[in-house]
Homo-oligomer: A and B are copies of this chain.
């Protein structure tokens, strides 16, 4: 089996991907780690390590072939093949996600949207009709989605996840600010804006105190 990719590298791959495709569109065919590093503000050695982890092979003295890099990342990241997803919760965040047209380019297609509120069911959002929860099993059989995107309120997240998992979903993208339980084999990725905010505020507080603040 191929070596697994370290998380930090993984998080950098979409950046590389976008960058390589942009370069390609300018007509370039090759790229060197030094150039990538300069443009993306990364250590060139780190770039090389990252490319190595996706099994990219370069030509000494020349660089890496862009087309190879692009297809290599696509393969490793599951781009290319579209992954079908169900969206749970059509609040403002859910609606915003439906509007992310580029998700398709990055391998994600939202094929159905659900909401517990009867008042929202039937509404049309970006080509999709909001569905009631009780149609989920039927639609899951039809679409066989693998991903569930959860944007319901925190206190309903676990229910939503349970329903998804019971209907064959293999991966949860969880935007609710709670940790949810899933059976082994199901992947959960948390997207917690409060966590990010905390990081930001902390850094801000740090730079403001600096020198000024002195511990007891």
Contacts and interface: CB of A to CB of B under 8 A. Distances in A.
Contacts of A173: 196-197, 200
A55 B216 CA distance: 12
Contact of A107 (B13, B103, B201, B207): B201
B201 A77 contact: yes
Interface of A: 1-2, 4-5, 7, 10-11, 13-15, 17-18, 40-41, 55, 76-79, 83, 91-93, 95-100, 102-103, 106-108, 146-147, 170-171, 173, 177, 179, 185, 187, 189, 191-211, 213-215
Contacts of A209: 1
Given A18-B177, A96-B93, A213-B2, A197 B10 contact: no
A215 B93 CA distance: 40
Of all A-B residue pairs in the complex, the 4 with the closest CB atoms, nearest first, are A78-B201, A92-B96, A78-B205, A14-B198
B102 A204 contact: no
Interface centre among A11, A189, A202 (most CB of B within 10 A): A202
